[in-house]
Structure 1
Amino acid sequence: MQNLTLTWQSAGGSAVALLGAAYAAKRIRRPRAAPAAALLREAGTLLALFSLWQLVGRLSVLSADHALDRADWIHRTELRWGFPDEAALQQAVLPHAWLVTASNYYYATMHFAVMIALLAWVFLRHRDRYGWVRNTVVLTTGACLVIQFIPVAPPRMLAESGFVDVAAQYGQSVYGGAVGGVVPDQLSAMPSVHVAWSVLAAVAVLKVARGPWRWLVVLHPVVTVFVVVATANHFWADGLVAVALLLVAYLVQHAFSGWRPSQQEAATAPEPERTSVSS
Protein backbone atom coordinates (compact mmCIF):
# COMPACT_ATOMS: atom_id res chain seq x y z
CA MET A 1 0.00 0.00 0.00
CA GLN A 2 1.40 3.38 -0.97
CA ASN A 3 -0.10 6.78 -0.15
CA LEU A 4 2.70 9.07 -1.36
CA THR A 5 3.13 9.57 -5.09
CA LEU A 6 4.97 12.91 -5.40
CA THR A 7 8.60 13.71 -4.73
CA TRP A 8 9.39 17.04 -3.14
CA GLN A 9 10.83 18.21 -6.46
CA SER A 10 7.73 17.41 -8.49
CA ALA A 11 5.40 18.77 -5.82
CA GLY A 12 7.46 21.96 -5.57
CA GLY A 13 7.53 22.40 -9.33
CA SER A 14 3.77 21.88 -9.53
CA ALA A 15 3.26 24.39 -6.73
CA VAL A 16 5.30 27.03 -8.58
CA ALA A 17 3.32 26.37 -11.77
CA LEU A 18 -0.02 26.65 -9.98
CA LEU A 19 0.97 29.83 -8.15
CA GLY A 20 2.18 31.32 -11.43
CA ALA A 21 -1.11 30.41 -13.11
CA ALA A 22 -2.98 31.97 -10.20
CA TYR A 23 -1.04 35.21 -10.62
CA ALA A 24 -1.73 35.23 -14.35
CA ALA A 25 -5.45 34.57 -13.81
CA LYS A 26 -5.61 37.37 -11.27
CA ARG A 27 -4.08 39.80 -13.74
CA ILE A 28 -6.87 39.13 -16.24
CA ARG A 29 -9.23 41.19 -14.05
CA ARG A 30 -12.41 39.46 -15.20
CA PRO A 31 -15.20 38.22 -12.91
CA ARG A 32 -14.83 34.60 -14.01
CA ALA A 33 -11.07 34.66 -13.50
CA ALA A 34 -11.21 35.51 -9.80
CA PRO A 35 -12.54 32.10 -8.58
CA ALA A 36 -10.05 30.27 -10.78
CA ALA A 37 -7.20 32.39 -9.44
CA ALA A 38 -8.24 31.67 -5.86
CA LEU A 39 -8.49 27.93 -6.50
CA LEU A 40 -5.09 27.81 -8.22
CA ARG A 41 -3.49 29.83 -5.42
CA GLU A 42 -4.79 27.54 -2.70
CA ALA A 43 -3.83 24.39 -4.59
CA GLY A 44 -0.34 25.79 -5.12
CA THR A 45 0.00 26.72 -1.45
CA LEU A 46 -0.97 23.23 -0.29
CA LEU A 47 1.36 21.57 -2.80
CA ALA A 48 4.20 23.80 -1.60
CA LEU A 49 3.49 22.68 1.97
CA PHE A 50 3.48 19.04 0.82
CA SER A 51 6.80 19.59 -0.96
CA LEU A 52 8.32 21.03 2.22
CA TRP A 53 7.02 18.05 4.21
CA GLN A 54 8.65 15.65 1.75
CA LEU A 55 11.93 17.57 1.85
CA VAL A 56 12.03 17.60 5.66
CA GLY A 57 11.42 13.86 5.66
CA ARG A 58 14.28 13.29 3.26
CA LEU A 59 16.69 15.42 5.29
CA SER A 60 15.58 13.64 8.46
CA VAL A 61 16.31 10.24 6.91
CA LEU A 62 19.79 11.41 5.92
CA SER A 63 20.64 12.23 9.56
CA ALA A 64 19.03 9.35 11.43
CA ASP A 65 21.57 8.99 14.24
CA HIS A 66 20.02 8.17 17.61
CA ALA A 67 16.42 8.12 16.27
CA LEU A 68 15.82 4.77 17.99
CA ASP A 69 17.38 6.06 21.21
CA ARG A 70 15.02 9.04 21.24
CA ALA A 71 12.02 6.77 20.69
CA ASP A 72 13.12 4.49 23.51
CA TRP A 73 13.57 7.51 25.80
CA ILE A 74 10.03 8.73 25.01
CA HIS A 75 8.60 5.29 25.79
CA ARG A 76 10.47 4.95 29.08
CA THR A 77 9.55 8.52 30.12
CA GLU A 78 5.86 7.89 29.43
CA LEU A 79 5.91 4.76 31.58
CA ARG A 80 7.62 6.65 34.41
CA TRP A 81 4.93 9.31 34.25
CA GLY A 82 2.16 6.72 34.43
CA PHE A 83 0.96 6.69 30.82
CA PRO A 84 -0.65 3.45 29.61
CA ASP A 85 1.83 1.30 27.73
CA GLU A 86 1.18 1.53 23.96
CA ALA A 87 2.63 -1.96 23.51
CA ALA A 88 0.00 -3.39 25.85
CA LEU A 89 -2.81 -1.75 23.86
CA GLN A 90 -1.38 -3.11 20.64
CA GLN A 91 -1.10 -6.61 22.09
CA ALA A 92 -4.83 -6.45 22.92
CA VAL A 93 -5.61 -5.59 19.28
CA LEU A 94 -3.32 -8.13 17.60
CA PRO A 95 -5.66 -11.18 17.96
CA HIS A 96 -8.33 -9.37 15.90
CA ALA A 97 -7.10 -9.47 12.31
CA TRP A 98 -10.04 -7.44 10.96
CA LEU A 99 -9.33 -4.63 13.43
CA VAL A 100 -5.64 -4.60 12.58
CA THR A 101 -6.40 -4.48 8.87
CA ALA A 102 -8.95 -1.70 9.30
CA SER A 103 -6.51 0.29 11.45
CA ASN A 104 -3.79 0.02 8.82
CA TYR A 105 -6.18 1.23 6.11
CA TYR A 106 -7.41 4.10 8.25
CA TYR A 107 -3.86 5.22 8.98
CA ALA A 108 -2.84 5.08 5.32
CA THR A 109 -5.89 6.71 3.71
CA MET A 110 -7.89 8.92 6.04
CA HIS A 111 -5.06 11.30 6.95
CA PHE A 112 -5.00 13.02 3.56
CA ALA A 113 -8.55 12.16 2.50
CA VAL A 114 -10.23 13.93 5.43
CA MET A 115 -8.01 17.00 5.13
CA ILE A 116 -8.59 17.34 1.37
CA ALA A 117 -12.34 16.91 1.86
CA LEU A 118 -12.34 19.49 4.67
CA LEU A 119 -10.46 22.12 2.67
CA ALA A 120 -12.63 21.56 -0.41
CA TRP A 121 -15.84 21.80 1.63
CA VAL A 122 -14.83 24.99 3.42
CA PHE A 123 -13.48 26.57 0.23
CA LEU A 124 -16.65 25.85 -1.76
CA ARG A 125 -19.32 26.29 0.92
CA HIS A 126 -17.86 28.59 3.57
CA ARG A 127 -15.30 30.75 1.78
CA ASP A 128 -15.29 33.37 4.56
CA ARG A 129 -13.88 30.77 6.98
CA TYR A 130 -11.42 29.18 4.57
CA GLY A 131 -8.54 31.49 5.42
CA TRP A 132 -8.75 30.55 9.09
CA VAL A 133 -8.75 26.82 8.33
CA ARG A 134 -5.95 27.03 5.77
CA ASN A 135 -3.78 29.18 8.02
CA THR A 136 -4.26 26.72 10.86
CA VAL A 137 -3.15 23.86 8.61
CA VAL A 138 -0.07 25.78 7.46
CA LEU A 139 0.97 26.99 10.93
CA THR A 140 0.43 23.62 12.62
CA THR A 141 2.09 21.58 9.90
CA GLY A 142 4.99 24.00 9.68
CA ALA A 143 5.57 23.83 13.43
CA CYS A 144 5.48 20.02 13.32
CA LEU A 145 7.97 20.00 10.44
CA VAL A 146 10.44 22.13 12.36
CA ILE A 147 10.50 19.60 15.21
CA GLN A 148 10.65 16.69 12.76
CA PHE A 149 14.08 17.83 11.63
CA ILE A 150 15.15 15.88 14.74
CA PRO A 151 14.62 12.22 13.71
CA VAL A 152 12.51 10.12 16.09
CA ALA A 153 11.68 6.50 15.28
CA PRO A 154 8.10 5.24 15.58
CA PRO A 155 7.23 2.65 18.24
CA ARG A 156 6.97 -0.14 15.64
CA MET A 157 10.77 -0.04 15.33
CA LEU A 158 11.20 -0.91 19.01
CA ALA A 159 10.65 -4.65 18.75
CA GLU A 160 12.56 -5.24 21.99
CA SER A 161 9.90 -3.20 23.83
CA GLY A 162 7.09 -5.46 22.57
CA PHE A 163 5.93 -3.45 19.57
CA VAL A 164 4.97 -5.07 16.25
CA ASP A 165 5.04 -3.50 12.79
CA VAL A 166 1.54 -4.70 11.91
CA ALA A 167 1.42 -2.80 8.61
CA ALA A 168 4.47 -4.67 7.34
CA GLN A 169 3.15 -7.91 8.80
CA TYR A 170 -0.13 -7.57 6.86
CA GLY A 171 1.48 -6.21 3.69
CA GLN A 172 -0.18 -2.81 4.16
CA SER A 173 2.82 -0.63 4.96
CA VAL A 174 3.12 2.76 3.27
CA TYR A 175 6.82 2.61 4.11
CA GLY A 176 7.56 -0.56 2.17
CA GLY A 177 9.86 1.00 -0.42
CA ALA A 178 10.63 3.95 -2.60
CA VAL A 179 7.65 5.92 -3.88
CA GLY A 180 8.28 8.23 -6.81
CA GLY A 181 11.99 7.77 -6.31
CA VAL A 182 11.97 8.74 -2.62
CA VAL A 183 11.76 6.52 0.44
CA PRO A 184 8.87 7.82 2.60
CA ASP A 185 10.11 9.22 5.88
CA GLN A 186 9.81 6.78 8.76
CA LEU A 187 11.62 8.89 11.34
CA SER A 188 9.23 11.81 11.80
CA ALA A 189 7.12 10.24 14.53
CA MET A 190 7.41 13.25 16.84
CA PRO A 191 5.07 15.07 16.68
CA SER A 192 2.16 13.23 15.05
CA VAL A 193 0.73 15.20 12.14
CA HIS A 194 -1.94 12.48 11.91
CA VAL A 195 -3.25 13.49 15.34
CA ALA A 196 -2.83 17.22 14.73
CA TRP A 197 -4.79 17.14 11.46
CA SER A 198 -7.56 14.97 12.87
CA VAL A 199 -8.15 17.34 15.80
CA LEU A 200 -7.89 20.33 13.45
CA ALA A 201 -10.53 18.82 11.15
CA ALA A 202 -12.88 18.17 14.05
CA VAL A 203 -12.53 21.70 15.43
CA ALA A 204 -13.05 23.22 11.98
CA VAL A 205 -16.24 21.27 11.32
CA LEU A 206 -17.63 22.05 14.77
CA LYS A 207 -16.82 25.73 14.28
CA VAL A 208 -18.08 26.12 10.72
CA ALA A 209 -20.97 23.66 10.37
CA ARG A 210 -24.38 23.88 12.01
CA GLY A 211 -26.70 21.21 13.32
CA PRO A 212 -26.28 18.30 15.71
CA TRP A 213 -24.79 15.94 13.10
CA ARG A 214 -21.54 17.90 13.08
CA TRP A 215 -20.61 16.32 16.42
CA LEU A 216 -20.03 13.01 14.65
CA VAL A 217 -16.73 14.48 13.43
CA VAL A 218 -15.36 14.03 16.97
CA LEU A 219 -15.09 10.32 16.13
CA HIS A 220 -12.31 11.08 13.63
CA PRO A 221 -9.66 12.23 16.15
CA VAL A 222 -10.74 9.53 18.60
CA VAL A 223 -10.34 6.81 15.97
CA THR A 224 -7.10 8.37 14.71
CA VAL A 225 -5.50 8.32 18.17
CA PHE A 226 -6.53 4.68 18.59
CA VAL A 227 -5.21 3.79 15.13
CA VAL A 228 -1.80 5.47 15.43
CA VAL A 229 -1.21 3.69 18.74
CA ALA A 230 -2.64 0.31 17.69
CA THR A 231 -0.46 0.29 14.58
CA ALA A 232 2.57 1.41 16.64
CA ASN A 233 3.18 4.43 14.44
CA HIS A 234 3.08 6.96 17.28
CA PHE A 235 3.41 7.33 21.03
CA TRP A 236 0.88 9.16 23.21
CA ALA A 237 3.46 11.94 23.58
CA ASP A 238 3.59 12.44 19.80
CA GLY A 239 -0.11 13.31 19.77
CA LEU A 240 0.07 15.51 22.87
CA VAL A 241 2.87 17.62 21.40
CA ALA A 242 0.99 17.91 18.11
CA VAL A 243 -2.20 19.10 19.82
CA ALA A 244 -0.16 21.61 21.84
CA LEU A 245 1.23 23.03 18.58
CA LEU A 246 -2.31 23.20 17.18
CA LEU A 247 -3.39 25.25 20.20
CA VAL A 248 -0.46 27.59 19.67
CA ALA A 249 -1.54 28.03 16.03
CA TYR A 250 -5.04 29.01 17.20
CA LEU A 251 -3.60 31.48 19.72
CA VAL A 252 -1.33 33.06 17.11
CA GLN A 253 -4.25 33.58 14.75
CA HIS A 254 -6.42 34.95 17.53
CA ALA A 255 -3.71 37.40 18.56
CA PHE A 256 -3.15 38.47 14.97
CA SER A 257 -6.86 38.94 14.27
CA GLY A 258 -7.07 41.21 17.30
CA TRP A 259 -4.67 43.67 15.68
CA ARG A 260 -6.98 44.47 12.81
CA PRO A 261 -10.73 44.14 12.10
CA SER A 262 -11.92 41.28 9.92
CA GLN A 263 -13.10 41.99 6.39
CA GLN A 264 -16.72 41.46 7.43
CA GLU A 265 -16.39 43.87 10.35
CA ALA A 266 -14.67 46.42 8.14
CA ALA A 267 -17.46 46.16 5.57
CA THR A 268 -20.22 46.64 8.13
CA ALA A 269 -18.53 49.33 10.19
CA PRO A 270 -20.42 52.64 10.14
CA GLU A 271 -18.82 55.46 8.23
CA PRO A 272 -17.59 58.39 10.33
CA GLU A 273 -19.94 61.32 10.42
CA ARG A 274 -18.99 64.23 8.26
CA THR A 275 -19.03 67.62 9.90
CA SER A 276 -19.59 70.69 7.84
CA VAL A 277 -17.39 73.70 8.41
CA SER A 278 -19.14 77.02 7.92
CA SER A 279 -17.15 80.01 6.90
Structure 2
Amino acid sequence: MGETTVTTLEGREEAVPSPVADAAGQGFLRRLRTPRRPRLWFEILLIAVSYWTYSQIRNAVPEQRGQALRNADWIWRVENDLGIAVEQSVNHAVNSATWLIVGMNYYYATLHFVVTLGVLVWLYRSHPGRYAATRLVLFATTAVALVGYYFFPLAPPRLMTGGHFVDTVMVHQTWGSMASGDLKHMSNQYAAMPSMHIGWSLWCGLTIFTLAKLPWVRILGLLYPAATLMVIVSTANHFWLDAVGGMLCLAFGFAVSRVWYGAFPYALPRTVAVRGVEGRWLPTKA
Protein backbone atom coordinates (compact mmCIF):
# COMPACT_ATOMS: atom_id res chain seq x y z
CA MET A 1 0.00 0.00 0.00
CA GLY A 2 1.30 3.47 -0.85
CA GLU A 3 3.28 2.14 -3.82
CA THR A 4 2.50 1.64 -7.53
CA THR A 5 3.94 -0.98 -9.84
CA VAL A 6 5.32 -0.67 -13.34
CA THR A 7 6.10 -3.38 -15.84
CA THR A 8 9.64 -3.39 -17.20
CA LEU A 9 10.71 -4.45 -20.68
CA GLU A 10 11.47 -7.90 -19.33
CA GLY A 11 7.88 -8.19 -18.10
CA ARG A 12 8.71 -7.98 -14.40
CA GLU A 13 6.80 -5.74 -12.05
CA GLU A 14 8.74 -3.32 -9.85
CA ALA A 15 7.43 -1.22 -6.99
CA VAL A 16 7.68 2.53 -7.36
CA PRO A 17 7.46 4.64 -4.17
CA SER A 18 4.31 6.71 -4.03
CA PRO A 19 4.80 10.49 -3.96
CA VAL A 20 2.10 10.63 -1.31
CA ALA A 21 4.03 8.20 0.91
CA ASP A 22 7.26 10.14 0.42
CA ALA A 23 5.51 13.39 1.34
CA ALA A 24 4.02 11.75 4.43
CA GLY A 25 7.44 10.53 5.52
CA GLN A 26 9.00 13.93 4.98
CA GLY A 27 6.10 15.53 6.82
CA PHE A 28 6.61 13.22 9.81
CA LEU A 29 10.33 14.02 9.91
CA ARG A 30 9.56 17.72 9.62
CA ARG A 31 7.18 17.50 12.59
CA LEU A 32 9.86 15.78 14.65
CA ARG A 33 12.32 18.56 13.85
CA THR A 34 9.87 21.40 14.51
CA PRO A 35 10.26 22.96 17.99
CA ARG A 36 7.08 22.69 20.03
CA ARG A 37 6.02 23.54 23.54
CA PRO A 38 7.57 21.03 25.96
CA ARG A 39 5.35 19.08 28.34
CA LEU A 40 6.38 19.32 31.97
CA TRP A 41 5.65 15.71 32.96
CA PHE A 42 7.51 14.40 29.91
CA GLU A 43 10.55 16.61 30.55
CA ILE A 44 10.80 15.58 34.20
CA LEU A 45 10.56 11.91 33.23
CA LEU A 46 13.01 12.29 30.35
CA ILE A 47 15.65 14.07 32.41
CA ALA A 48 15.32 11.61 35.30
CA VAL A 49 15.53 8.53 33.07
CA SER A 50 18.35 10.00 30.99
CA TYR A 51 20.50 10.88 33.99
CA TRP A 52 19.84 7.49 35.57
CA THR A 53 20.85 5.78 32.32
CA TYR A 54 23.96 7.94 32.01
CA SER A 55 24.98 7.12 35.59
CA GLN A 56 24.42 3.41 35.08
CA ILE A 57 26.47 3.30 31.88
CA ARG A 58 29.22 5.49 33.32
CA ASN A 59 29.54 3.35 36.41
CA ALA A 60 29.30 0.13 34.37
CA VAL A 61 32.48 1.01 32.48
CA PRO A 62 35.20 -1.28 33.87
CA GLU A 63 37.41 0.52 36.37
CA GLN A 64 40.69 -0.15 34.60
CA ARG A 65 42.89 1.11 37.39
CA GLY A 66 46.23 0.21 35.85
CA GLN A 67 45.44 1.74 32.47
CA ALA A 68 43.81 4.77 34.11
CA LEU A 69 46.95 5.47 36.13
CA ARG A 70 49.16 5.03 33.07
CA ASN A 71 46.97 7.45 31.16
CA ALA A 72 47.20 9.93 34.03
CA ASP A 73 51.01 9.74 33.93
CA TRP A 74 50.89 10.31 30.16
CA ILE A 75 48.58 13.33 30.50
CA TRP A 76 50.86 14.76 33.19
CA ARG A 77 53.93 14.35 30.94
CA VAL A 78 52.14 16.00 28.01
CA GLU A 79 51.12 18.95 30.15
CA ASN A 80 54.67 19.30 31.43
CA ASP A 81 55.96 19.30 27.86
CA LEU A 82 53.41 21.99 26.99
CA GLY A 83 54.31 24.05 30.05
CA ILE A 84 50.78 23.99 31.49
CA ALA A 85 51.26 21.46 34.30
CA VAL A 86 50.41 23.82 37.15
CA GLU A 87 47.59 21.74 38.68
CA GLN A 88 49.72 20.61 41.62
CA SER A 89 50.76 24.16 42.51
CA VAL A 90 47.16 25.36 42.30
CA ASN A 91 45.95 22.42 44.37
CA HIS A 92 48.44 23.05 47.17
CA ALA A 93 48.01 26.83 47.15
CA VAL A 94 44.21 26.73 47.41
CA ASN A 95 44.29 23.91 49.94
CA SER A 96 46.26 26.17 52.30
CA ALA A 97 43.14 28.37 52.66
CA THR A 98 40.73 26.05 54.45
CA TRP A 99 37.65 28.24 54.02
CA LEU A 100 38.27 28.51 50.28
CA ILE A 101 38.94 24.85 49.54
CA VAL A 102 35.99 23.69 51.66
CA GLY A 103 33.76 26.03 49.70
CA MET A 104 35.16 24.62 46.47
CA ASN A 105 34.47 21.06 47.63
CA TYR A 106 30.81 21.90 48.13
CA TYR A 107 30.76 23.82 44.85
CA TYR A 108 32.07 20.73 43.03
CA ALA A 109 29.54 18.43 44.69
CA THR A 110 26.41 20.54 44.23
CA LEU A 111 26.41 23.33 41.65
CA HIS A 112 27.12 20.91 38.81
CA PHE A 113 23.54 19.68 39.21
CA VAL A 114 21.78 22.70 40.72
CA VAL A 115 22.81 25.25 38.08
CA THR A 116 22.24 22.88 35.16
CA LEU A 117 18.72 22.05 36.33
CA GLY A 118 18.09 25.74 37.01
CA VAL A 119 19.03 26.68 33.44
CA LEU A 120 16.79 23.91 32.07
CA VAL A 121 13.85 25.23 34.11
CA TRP A 122 14.54 28.78 32.93
CA LEU A 123 14.64 27.66 29.31
CA TYR A 124 11.41 25.71 29.76
CA ARG A 125 9.59 28.71 31.16
CA SER A 126 11.10 31.61 29.20
CA HIS A 127 12.37 30.11 25.93
CA PRO A 128 10.11 27.16 25.04
CA GLY A 129 10.94 27.43 21.34
CA ARG A 130 14.64 26.95 22.07
CA TYR A 131 14.27 24.48 24.90
CA ALA A 132 14.30 21.19 22.97
CA ALA A 133 17.23 22.16 20.75
CA THR A 134 19.31 23.42 23.69
CA ARG A 135 18.43 20.34 25.73
CA LEU A 136 19.60 18.18 22.80
CA VAL A 137 22.99 19.89 22.99
CA LEU A 138 23.28 18.88 26.64
CA PHE A 139 22.13 15.31 26.02
CA ALA A 140 24.43 14.78 23.02
CA THR A 141 27.36 16.25 24.97
CA THR A 142 26.77 13.86 27.84
CA ALA A 143 26.25 10.86 25.58
CA VAL A 144 29.50 11.29 23.68
CA ALA A 145 31.36 11.68 26.99
CA LEU A 146 30.56 8.03 27.71
CA VAL A 147 32.73 7.09 24.72
CA GLY A 148 35.67 8.85 26.37
CA TYR A 149 35.09 7.10 29.68
CA TYR A 150 35.08 3.71 27.97
CA PHE A 151 38.04 4.09 25.62
CA PHE A 152 40.26 6.36 27.72
CA PRO A 153 40.02 5.53 31.44
CA LEU A 154 41.80 8.24 33.37
CA ALA A 155 42.63 8.61 37.03
CA PRO A 156 42.13 12.11 38.45
CA PRO A 157 45.25 13.85 39.79
CA ARG A 158 44.27 13.08 43.41
CA LEU A 159 44.58 9.34 42.70
CA MET A 160 47.89 9.46 40.85
CA THR A 161 50.62 7.26 42.28
CA GLY A 162 53.32 9.56 43.55
CA GLY A 163 51.50 12.59 42.18
CA HIS A 164 51.64 14.40 45.54
CA PHE A 165 48.22 15.94 45.01
CA VAL A 166 45.90 16.66 47.95
CA ASP A 167 42.52 14.87 47.94
CA THR A 168 40.73 17.86 49.41
CA VAL A 169 37.48 16.03 50.21
CA MET A 170 39.32 13.38 52.22
CA VAL A 171 41.55 15.88 53.99
CA HIS A 172 38.77 18.28 54.99
CA GLN A 173 36.04 15.64 55.39
CA THR A 174 33.50 17.62 53.39
CA TRP A 175 30.16 16.11 52.47
CA GLY A 176 28.58 15.28 49.16
CA SER A 177 31.25 14.38 46.64
CA MET A 178 30.82 11.12 44.73
CA ALA A 179 34.55 11.22 44.05
CA SER A 180 35.92 10.55 47.53
CA GLY A 181 35.02 9.15 50.91
CA ASP A 182 32.32 6.53 51.45
CA LEU A 183 30.44 7.53 48.27
CA LYS A 184 33.37 6.78 45.97
CA HIS A 185 32.26 3.15 45.68
CA MET A 186 29.07 4.35 43.98
CA SER A 187 30.92 6.16 41.19
CA ASN A 188 33.53 5.20 38.61
CA GLN A 189 36.73 6.74 39.92
CA TYR A 190 38.53 6.49 36.59
CA ALA A 191 36.15 8.47 34.38
CA ALA A 192 37.89 11.85 34.47
CA MET A 193 38.22 12.40 30.71
CA PRO A 194 36.28 14.32 29.51
CA SER A 195 35.15 16.60 32.32
CA MET A 196 31.38 16.97 32.32
CA HIS A 197 31.73 19.61 35.02
CA ILE A 198 33.22 21.73 32.25
CA GLY A 199 30.89 20.47 29.53
CA TRP A 200 27.77 21.22 31.56
CA SER A 201 28.99 24.50 33.08
CA LEU A 202 30.04 25.84 29.67
CA TRP A 203 26.63 24.85 28.29
CA CYS A 204 25.01 26.80 31.14
CA GLY A 205 27.32 29.78 30.69
CA LEU A 206 26.82 30.08 26.93
CA THR A 207 23.07 29.70 27.29
CA ILE A 208 22.83 32.38 29.95
CA PHE A 209 25.19 34.75 28.17
CA THR A 210 23.36 34.41 24.84
CA LEU A 211 19.75 34.53 26.03
CA ALA A 212 19.71 36.56 29.24
CA LYS A 213 18.74 40.24 29.01
CA LEU A 214 20.37 41.73 32.10
CA PRO A 215 24.08 42.52 31.58
CA TRP A 216 25.13 41.40 35.06
CA VAL A 217 23.38 38.04 34.56
CA ARG A 218 25.19 37.56 31.26
CA ILE A 219 28.51 38.29 32.98
CA LEU A 220 27.70 35.70 35.67
CA GLY A 221 27.02 33.25 32.87
CA LEU A 222 30.57 33.69 31.58
CA LEU A 223 32.10 33.56 35.05
CA TYR A 224 30.41 30.27 35.95
CA PRO A 225 32.46 27.94 33.67
CA ALA A 226 35.63 29.90 34.51
CA ALA A 227 35.01 29.36 38.23
CA THR A 228 34.21 25.70 37.60
CA LEU A 229 37.53 25.24 35.80
CA MET A 230 39.35 26.65 38.83
CA VAL A 231 37.37 24.37 41.16
CA ILE A 232 38.03 21.11 39.29
CA VAL A 233 41.76 21.84 39.21
CA SER A 234 42.02 23.10 42.79
CA THR A 235 40.27 20.01 44.17
CA ALA A 236 42.55 17.73 42.09
CA ASN A 237 39.58 16.11 40.37
CA HIS A 238 40.71 16.96 36.83
CA PHE A 239 43.63 17.97 34.65
CA TRP A 240 43.45 21.01 32.37
CA LEU A 241 43.20 18.66 29.39
CA ASP A 242 40.09 17.03 30.87
CA ALA A 243 38.47 20.44 30.49
CA VAL A 244 39.51 20.53 26.84
CA GLY A 245 37.84 17.15 26.41
CA GLY A 246 34.64 18.55 27.92
CA MET A 247 34.72 21.49 25.50
CA LEU A 248 35.12 19.15 22.52
CA CYS A 249 32.13 17.12 23.70
CA LEU A 250 30.08 20.31 23.93
CA ALA A 251 31.11 21.26 20.39
CA PHE A 252 29.84 17.86 19.25
CA GLY A 253 26.56 18.49 21.07
CA PHE A 254 26.06 21.81 19.29
CA ALA A 255 26.84 20.15 15.95
CA VAL A 256 24.20 17.46 16.53
CA SER A 257 21.57 20.05 17.44
CA ARG A 258 22.51 22.20 14.44
CA VAL A 259 22.13 19.27 12.04
CA TRP A 260 18.81 18.12 13.53
CA TYR A 261 17.07 21.51 13.79
CA GLY A 262 18.77 23.23 10.87
CA ALA A 263 19.90 26.13 13.07
CA PHE A 264 21.80 26.72 16.26
CA PRO A 265 19.46 26.49 19.25
CA TYR A 266 19.86 30.13 20.28
CA ALA A 267 18.87 31.29 16.77
CA LEU A 268 15.49 29.54 16.91
CA PRO A 269 12.33 31.53 17.77
CA ARG A 270 11.83 32.10 21.48
CA THR A 271 8.21 30.94 21.36
CA VAL A 272 6.50 28.00 19.66
CA ALA A 273 3.36 27.48 17.65
CA VAL A 274 0.10 26.40 19.29
CA ARG A 275 -2.68 24.38 17.73
CA GLY A 276 -5.78 26.46 16.90
CA VAL A 277 -9.40 25.40 17.12
CA GLU A 278 -9.38 24.22 13.48
CA GLY A 279 -6.29 22.09 13.99
CA ARG A 280 -3.89 24.49 12.30
CA TRP A 281 -0.68 25.68 13.92
CA LEU A 282 -0.72 29.37 14.82
CA PRO A 283 2.31 31.45 15.95
CA THR A 284 2.33 32.66 19.52
CA LYS A 285 3.20 36.17 20.60
CA ALA A 286 6.72 36.85 21.77
Root-mean-square deviation (CA, aligned residues, Å) is: 2.5
Give the partner amino acid of 1:168: M
Contact between 1:103 and 1:227, CA under 8 Å: does it hold in 2?
yes
The match for 2:254 among 247, 250, 254 is 250
1:252 to partner: Cα distance = 2.8
Give the partner amino acid of 2:182: G
Q: TM-score, normalised by structure 1?
A: 0.75
The DSSP-based 3-state class of the residue aligned with 1:160 is: coil
Give the partner amino acid of 1:54: S
1:105 to partner: Cα distance = 0.6
The match for 2:167 among 162, 165, 168 is 165
Structure 1 runs of 4+ with >3 Å offset: 61-65, 261-267
Compare 227-236 and 44-53 and name the one that shifted more.
44-53
The DSSP-based 3-state class of the residue aligned with 2:187 is: coil
Q: Deviations over 1:10-30 (max 9, x none)?
A: xxxxxxxxxxxxxxxxxxxxx
Alpha-carbon spacing, 1:264–1:112, altered in 2? closer, same or farther (3 Å): closer
Aligned-partner Cα distance in 1 for 2:186–2:272: 48
Which residue matches 2:148? 147
Aligned-partner Cα distance in 1 for 2:114–2:102: 18
Aligned-partner Cα distance in 2 for 1:39–1:264: 17
List runs of 5+ in structure 1 lacking aligned partners. 1-33, 268-279
Contact between 2:134 and 2:257, CA under 8 Å: does it hold in 1?
no
Which structure's CA Rg is the greater one?
2
Aligned-partner Cα distance in 1 for 2:227–2:255: 26
Equivalent pairs: percent with the same residue? 32
Aligned-partner Cα distance in 2 for 1:73–1:232: 16
1:157 to partner: Cα distance = 0.4
Contact between 2:140 and 2:253, CA under 8 Å: does it hold in 1?
yes
Alpha-carbon spacing, 1:110–1:266, altered in 2? closer, same or farther (3 Å): closer
Contact between 1:191 and 1:238, CA under 8 Å: does it hold in 2?
yes
1:61 to partner: Cα distance = 4.3
Which residue matches 2:181? 176
Check if 1:81 corresponds to 2:85. Answer: no
The match for 1:227 among 206, 231, 254 is 231
Is the strand fraction higher in 1 or 2?
2
List runs of 5+ in structure 2 lacking aligned partners. 1-35, 274-286
1:159 to partner: Cα distance = 5.0
Which residue matches 1:46? 47
The match for 1:240 among 228, 238, 244 is 244
Q: Deviations over 1:126-175 (max 9, x none)?
A: 11111122101101000111211232111100151221111111112433
Aligned-partner Cα distance in 1 for 2:116–2:42: 17
Alpha-carbon spacing, 1:265–1:103, altered in 2? closer, same or farther (3 Å): closer
Contact between 2:130 and 2:268, CA under 8 Å: does it hold in 1?
no
Contact between 2:130 and 2:269, CA under 8 Å: does it hold in 1?
no
The DSSP-based 3-state class of the residue aligned with 2:165 is: coil
Contact between 1:168 and 1:176, CA under 8 Å: does it hold in 2?
yes
Aligned-partner Cα distance in 2 for 1:44–1:136: 18
Alpha-carbon spacing, 1:84–1:177, altered in 2? closer, same or farther (3 Å): same
Which residue matches 1:208? 211
Contact between 2:63 and 2:190, CA under 8 Å: does it hold in 1?
no
Which residue matches 1:96? 97
Which residue matches 1:27? none
Give the partner amino acid of 2:120: L
Which residue matches 1:56? 57
Q: Deviations over 1:186-216 (max 9, x none)?
A: 1110000001100000111122221312222
Contact between 1:196 and 1:242, CA under 8 Å: does it hold in 2?
yes
The DSSP-based 3-state class of the residue aligned with 1:148 is: helix
Which residue matches 1:126? 127
The DSSP-based 3-state class of the residue aligned with 2:188 is: coil
Give the partner amino acid of 2:222: V
Give the partner amino acid of 1:118: V
Question: Aligned residue pairs: how many?
Answer: 230
Aligned-partner Cα distance in 2 for 1:85–1:119: 34
The DSSP-based 3-state class of the residue aligned with 1:164 is: coil
Which residue matches 1:275? none
Give the partner amino acid of 1:177: D
